[in-house]
Amino acid sequence: MGNKTYGAAFYGCLTLAVMVHAGQVVVEPDGMTPNAALERIRAEKAKGNQEAWSVIVKPGIYALTETLTFTPADSGTPQAPVTWVGEGEGATISGGGLVKGWIVEADGTWSAPIPTAPDGKPAYFEQLWVNGRRADRARLPDGGQGTASYFTLVKPGITAVTNAAGKVTYVERVTLTNSFAAALGKIPVDELPYAQMCVVHKWSTARRILRKFDPATMTVETWSPRDWSRWGKWNERETLVSFENVRSAFDAPGEWFYDSRAGRVRYRPLKGESIAAAVVVAPSAKLSQLLAFKGNPDKSEFVHDIAFRNLTFAYSDVRPTAGLAVNGPTESWQHQAASGSDGLVTAEGAHRLSWDQCAIAHTGNYAFRFNDGCVSNRISNCTIEDLGAGGIWMGASGGHVAKGEILKRRVIKTLAPRSTAFNLIDNCVIRKGGLFNPEGTGVALTHVSDSKVTHCEIHDFYYTGVSVGWTWGFQGSVAQRNEVAFNKIYDLGKGIMSDMGGVYTLGTSFGTTVHDNVVHDVWAYSYGGWALYTDEGSEGIVMERNLCWNTTDGGFHQHYGAGCIIRNNVFAWNRKLGAVRTARQVVQDIPCTLHFINNIVVVREGPLVGRGPRGVGGIWAGNLWYDYAGKPELDGLSWEAWQACGKEVGGKYADPLFENAEVCDFRIKPASPAFTLGFKAWDYTLAGLRK
């Protein structure tokens, strides 16, 4: 799907040769550049030429050394749009550059001079691609899958230190328990600033520059400008640690190392790789945004009616860390869903932009980020993959509403110029994310309303598949009337992160629907691998006709919420805390409720119902429950006691008669008792990409 010839790009500029026809410009290698095409159309529009314009992009690699920035002056109209279209295969706009000058060292590894950045200094980068594959940075612990590739810790602590100028720095210390962490003691002092400590803690991650290591006590020291313990305190049970760019860990095929001391990039080739044929690409000049759309919503000045088709956008870096050198290692603090990341494509004040049959790949951040004032944009039939963070972030900076409107726990219908709404993500593959920042989410709909995620295949992330809403608690939210439907969402968490879901919601979301999705294989490290997860203050959401199986803790979990309807779903094969689970019962003096109706819930290990539902209001009726191990447990009760407590009305405990549950064929035989309870079968094969 989409244009998948990503290719490689070069540092430096391409020559300019203008080819202009009426309403058309042509971008080609050794000819017009993308920036020149943008400027040409802008100049024509300034003269009053408002006809439809086409930018034909010939096959080739177009390297950017600065962001291609669109303003309101570059806009089309609905009747006369500006269209950028790739001709044939391989039209690629790139933020990467070739690393040249490779030689074979005596030990069989390869090395090349570190490329020069535009400021004349050695370029610094933390990602490298070899023959289109994201190479592994030399890492300790080395290799392995899941938790085998991390250290555990004890005695985490933080100390506030105030310097003579009164500036407070928080010194962080952790003690590593794994004996082979002693290899950190081999790091030369002058290489410490280039060795990063990577922390995964529940739903958040952090990167720190390694400051000290004491081999005698196995204690690592780093620092932060904030006291993270007030928000996400690292602890011994739920925190994993690794280290990157460690010379002593540069020992496995496919790994690379940024050798700051020698001024060289080092790579250990895979079997069969040839130095003569290798194409090695690094992100250039800290270019985190390849395309930027900059409108001014406050003045109702929008970038609008621009379309992109059959183009590839590839290779971006992470945004420089605020307050640190632009050309230096990344330091990051705890967030959620990589909310601090920008996008390879970033927009503010953008209306009616579209991407169709495009490929977005090899990013250091999100592929797309839509901020304030983004309305009626469309991403369809695209392949979005190999992502440093997530796939698509969409949402304004806050809950903007029209003047005179009050943002409360109520239906919000009147939006503001800064509102983000009515966007569509459809029929896309979004995969292989969180490769630099594991918090990255497949799709995050935050302060956004009336938007849709439909018929997508979202998989291979360390965190959540689709997230909806961005307020915690019963305080009101604009994230209303969103729809998440007919998606396949799977292979999440990977046993590394915690507290995530296939579909995750936050806050008041009146009119939001989550339906006809297939969600499976959501695996947490310590807790919280859910398929459907209504988190703090979720309210007014309907989740129905979702097929969910293979989860760490449960098919459905409500942390706390009110009035959500969970109807006509199948939940199967959780492992730990309960196939269906709720937590808090009263929050902010608001009684929590949940309506759980006509669902099929089956287990073969762990309880059917986890803690809390008996204290939560709402209707539980017509559900079919079954434990294949023959030991049903529902909120600590037997089936008979569960019925007697009055929670379940008209439900049954019986085999649902799936076609073949052992191989996850959850079609239901005609004789199933579910039908007598009012359950309605649906064709779950319609989820995912349109046939």
The string of pLDDT tens digits covering residues 576-596 is 888 999 989 999 999 999 999
- 378-419 per-position pLDDT tens digit: 999 999 999 999 999 999 999 999 988 889 999 998 989 999
Confidence of residue 264 (pLDDT cuts 50, 70, 90): very high
Q: What is the pLDDT of residue 324?
A: 58
Predicted confidence (pLDDT) at residue 20 exceeds the cutoff of 90 = no
Beta strands in 328-433 (DSSP E): 343-348, 350-356, 359-361, 366-370, 378-380, 383-385, 392-394, 420-421, 424-426, 429-431
Mean pLDDT confidence for 45-57: 94
- 334-381 per-position pLDDT tens digit: 789 999 999 999 999 999 999 999 999 999 999 999 999 999 999 999
Q: What is the pLDDT of residue 22?
A: 53
How many angstroms separate the first and last alpha carbons of the chain? Answer: 13
Q: Is the model more confident about 2 or about 86? A: 86
| 8 Å CB contact between 547 and 555 | no
Q: What is the pLDDT of residue 329?
A: 84
Distance from CA of residue 344 to its chain's centroid?
Answer: 13
CB atoms within 10 A of CB 621: 16
| 8 Å CB contact between 94 and 61 | yes
pTM of the predicted protein model = 0.95
Residues 422, 549: Cα–Cα separation, whole Å: 31
Confidence of residue 615 (pLDDT cuts 50, 70, 90): confident
Rg (C-alpha) for the chain, rounded Å, is: 26
Predicted confidence (pLDDT) at residue 429 exceeds the cutoff of 90 = yes
Looking at 2.60.40, 1.10.10, 2.40.160, 2.40.30, the CATH number of the domain 139-249 comes to 2.40.30
Element (H, E) at 642: helix 639-644
The winner for highest mean pLDDT among 134-143, 594-603, 605-614 is 594-603
Average pLDDT, the chain: 92
Percent of the chain at pLDDT exceeding 70: 95
Element (H, E) at 581: strand 580-582
Residues 255, 644: Cα–Cα separation, whole Å: 60
Beta strands in 35-188 (DSSP E): 53-57, 60-63, 68-70, 82-86, 91-94, 96-98, 103-104, 110-113, 129-130, 133-134, 136-137, 139-140, 153-162, 168-176
Mean pLDDT confidence for 234-249: 92
Confidence of residue 173 (pLDDT cuts 50, 70, 90): very high
Residues 38, 49: Cα–Cα separation, whole Å: 14
- 626-658 per-position pLDDT tens digit: 999 999 999 999 999 998 988 899 999 999 999
Residues 478, 407: Cα–Cα separation, whole Å: 8
Domain boundaries, the chain: 1-95+284-319+337-401+412-463, 139-249, 474-480+495-691
Q: Let me know if domain 1-95+284-319+337-401+412-463 sits in CATH 3.30.450.20.
A: no
Alpha carbon dihedral 247, 204, 334, 384, in 10-degree steps, equals: 80
Nearest-CA neighbor of 211 among 144, 159, 135?
A: 159
Residues 54, 72: Cα–Cα separation, whole Å: 17
**CB burial string 5-36: b at 16+ within 10 A, e below:** bbbbbbbeebeeeeeeeeebbbbbeebbbbbb
ω into residue 141 within 30 of 0, thus cis? Answer: yes
| 8 Å CB contact between 568 and 515 | no
Beta strands in 448-569 (DSSP E): 448-449, 452-454, 457-461, 466-468, 483-485, 488-492, 500-505, 508-515, 518-522, 529-534, 538-544, 547-551, 554-558, 561-562, 564-567
Amino acid at 301: E
Confidence of residue 21 (pLDDT cuts 50, 70, 90): very low
Q: Is the model more confident about 441 or about 65? A: 441
Predicted confidence (pLDDT) at residue 430 exceeds the cutoff of 70 = yes
Predicted confidence (pLDDT) at residue 12 exceeds the cutoff of 50 = no
What is the phi/psi pair of residue 131, to 5°?
55, 40
- 184-230 per-position pLDDT tens digit: 998 988 888 899 999 999 999 999 988 999 999 999 999 888 787 76
